[in-house]
Amino acid sequence: MNELLLGLLTAMLATNQVVAASNVVAQTTGIHVPVVDPNDPVEREYQQLLVKDDEAQTEVDEWIKQAGGAAEPGSKPDPVGELTLNARIKQRFEPVEQGYRDFLLRNPRHARARLAYGSLLSDLGRHDEAVAQWERARELEPDNPATWNNLADHFSHFGPARKCIEYFAKAVELNPKEPVYRWNLATAVFAFRVDAREIYKLPDDQAVLRKALEFYRQARALSPNDFKLATDLAQVFYYLAPAPTGDDPAAKLTAQATVLAEGLAAWKDAEKLAGTDLERQGLAIHMARLCGMHGDYDQARRFLDTVTEPGLADIKARVRRGIDYKKKGATTASAPEKAAAAEAASSPAAK
């Protein structure tokens, strides 16, 4: 792995886990608020199920933190707790799961209960059972975007990728004002570019990246203050190439400068939303790397010079080495061209 790429990956960790180009899409149940009668006894029972589910989730989350040594600063992992954790989790969720089963036995057409039960099963790693519940919920309430979103998330991990994109797109269609659905769709298009190219009938990989960028921008318009979303959008510019310009060197430089300016603008938009110096300086590393990729080595160094956080020192050094290596390669490659140009200029024909 070259230094510049390694710098990107480690810088991602410093900026709140920017989504990489992988088959991973953030899981979320989305938002769907049906109109219901709160005094309906079935609805009251369903809400009580959700409360018990949330209570169990909160308690289990705390157990996981304790087992990993993250419950309190300075605490250490508990090896005994780790050994028994899975059994404790299973035991804690058993009454919650039984509650869902009893409720659905008496109310088999309650789509929202099936949606929630499916999410619990998914959290427990029982993915086939979760899908069965979500598919039944989709049959009962085909206009509920949360069900399409959950199924799309499942397909993002287990395939097929085409269904992942199509189902996220359906969630967007059903609720176009929910930014999470557009965000998930953008990430799916970005990750599954071969399938996205076929679905949207796009000519090449770069057109797919532009389509993902379009969806990210739509999500940003709906949720302009989400830092993570802003960084996801900016990451696309690591993969965008300048528009084809033929053999004109000046046009090539202009196209490259355009992509760089567009990418830096996206990272600077994210910078406005950063909540800590660590996040801001992590973004400076991203901007430095983008400049290095496009040959603006002086600006890359200026961005790196703003990084003073001790925790980013190693990342900063790796990215700097990568940029220096790339600059050296570019200088070596251009030397013969300069010599040829000078020789041509001094030849009798040129005079």
Helix axis angle, 111-123 to 41-67, nearest 10° = 10
pLDDT for the residue 89: 92
Kindly give the confidence (pLDDT) of every residue in the chain, 351 residues in length, as a single tens digit, with 9 standing for 90 and above: 344 444 444 444 344 333 333 334 444 445 455 667 777 899 999 999 999 999 999 999 998 888 876 545 555 555 556 678 889 999 999 999 999 999 999 999 999 999 999 999 999 999 999 999 999 999 999 999 999 999 999 999 999 999 999 999 999 999 999 999 999 999 999 999 999 999 999 999 999 999 999 999 999 999 999 999 999 999 999 999 987 777 778 888 888 899 999 999 999 999 999 999 999 999 999 999 999 999 999 999 999 999 999 999 999 999 999 999 888 887 765 555 545 444 544 544 444
Q: Which of 211, 134, 142, 226 lies closest to 178, judged by CA?
A: 226
DSSP-derived 3-state class of residue 2: coil
pLDDT for the residue 251: 80
pLDDT for the residue 146: 96
Domain limits of the chain? 33-143
Find the angle CA(151)-CA(145)-CA(38) to the nearest 5 degrees: 115
This model's pTM is above 0.85: no
**CATH of the structural domain 33-143, one choice from 3.40.50, 3.30.230, 2.40.128, 1.25.40:** 1.25.40
pLDDT for the residue 222: 98
**What are the tokens at 321?**
């080495």
Burial class (CB in 10 A: 0-12, 13-18, 19+), 100: buried
Distance of CA 124 to the CA centre of its chain: 23
Sign of the Cα pseudo-torsion (48, 49, 52, 53, in order): negative
Cite the beta strand spans of the chain per DSSP E: none
pLDDT for the residue 348: 47
Burial class (CB in 10 A: 0-12, 13-18, 19+), 140: middle
pLDDT for the residue 73: 54
